[in-house]
Amino acid sequence: MQTRELGKSGLGVSAIGLGCMGLSYGYGPATDTRDAIALIRQAFERGVTFFDTAEAYGPYKNEELLGEALAPFRDQVVVATKFGFNFDANGGQSGMNSRPEQIRAVADQALRRLKTDVIDLFYQHRVDPDVPIEDVAGTVKALISEGKVKHFGLSEAGVQTIRRAHAVQPVTALQSEYSLWWREPEQEILPTLEELGIGFVPFSPLGKGFLTGAISETTTFDSKDFRNIVPRFSQEARKANQAFVDLLAEIAAHKKATSAQVALAWLLAQKPWIVPIPGTTKLHRLEENIRAAEVELTAEDLANIESALATIKVEGDRYPAHLQARVNR
């Protein structure tokens, strides 16, 4: 597995990380704990050294899972987790909370759940409009000076928030959605990150599974799968977007690769400081994703992908309105 540096932070990670959310949360029933631990350890055995979690995934269960899975080789991997929400008695999110005392409490709790003495990368999960970003960055800066955290990250933050935070405590990485079918970050985010020397960690790099070709208009999702409320995954949108997936499959066939591998290789080709974190619950998908780092896309390949996919309009918003309001603040 190749390695990459997130921006100019000095933080080196595998070129492809593992997003662990889906093992516990978001896409239906949680994976059996033993199977999930085995998958995480198989990822490490295959060269993955970058693992992403959050207190919100479960909540808490995903951090606990990752802590147990990574314990035998904790000093050989980079663990990212996140703060930023309150939770009700049933585990549902009950509003944002990035107040300094909350950040400190979450850090201490995450350290225990992750069975570690330091968080490698601590993201603000979503920008809290009620707490100045300077206070957030200052709190993480203090945690870094205390040795509880190594690096500071933001998720789905807008350009001005990134700049303001970075002025207080250098931001190592921004985690936001980015893929062949969600390219908004190219407009303002990527140039800003390049200017400031900040790494970029795309989540949902495979379009929440759609770019793999495994989802069609007839696919039904588990009742707990959040794609049920995503406009881009309505039956009508999936039918309309099938043309995009079909074209991607044609391109992949020419490269003797899978659609997922081309989608990930395309992200890797955009900038040397981009590290996608595809998630999966299946070993064969994990191995497929890891091999994407071996797929080389030439300048001609990239131009052909650009011109081909530009002819197709992707239908459907990526979030329902109430969640879309939380991004790019």
**What are the pLDDT digits (tens) for 237-260?**
999 999 999 999 999 999 999 999
Average pLDDT estimate for 188-193 = 98
Q: Determine the structural domain holding residue 281 and report its residue range.
A: 3-207+270-295
Catalytic residue (one of 57, 60, 123, 178): 57
209-240 pLDDT, tens per residue? 999 999 999 999 999 999 999 999 999 999 99
Does residue 251 fall inside a structural domain?
no
Give percent of the chain above pLDDT 90.
96
In a domain, residue 263? The reply is: no
For position 288, which CATH number holds? Answer: 3.20.20.100
Instruction: Please report whether residue 171 resides in a domain.
Output: yes
pLDDT at 322 over 90: no
In the predicted model, is pLDDT for residue 90 greater than 90? no
Total number of domains constituting the chain: 1
Tens digit of pLDDT for each residue in 145-184? 999 999 999 999 999 999 999 999 999 999 999 999 999 9
- Does some domain include residue 314? no
- pLDDT above 90 for 91: no
Whole-angstrom CA distances from 195 to 3, 8, 40, 177, 269 are 22, 11, 34, 20, 18
pLDDT band at 120 (very low <50, low <70, confident <90, very high): very high
Active site residue 57: yes
Residue 325: predicted pLDDT: 86
Residue 230 lies in a domain: no
How many other CB atoms are there within 10 angstroms of residue 223's CB atom? 8
In a domain, 229, yes or no: no
Both tokens assigned to 236: 């009508």
Query: What digits encode the pLDDT tens for the residues 56-77?
Result: 999 999 999 999 999 999 999 9
Long-range contacts of 97-105 (CB under 8 A, 24+ apart): 97/128, 98/124, 98/127, 98/128, 98/131, 98/136, 99/128, 99/131, 99/135, 100/131, 100/135, 100/136, 100/138, 100/139, 103/136, 103/139, 103/140, 103/143, 104/139, 104/143
Examine the pLDDT at 288 and tell me if it is beyond 90. yes
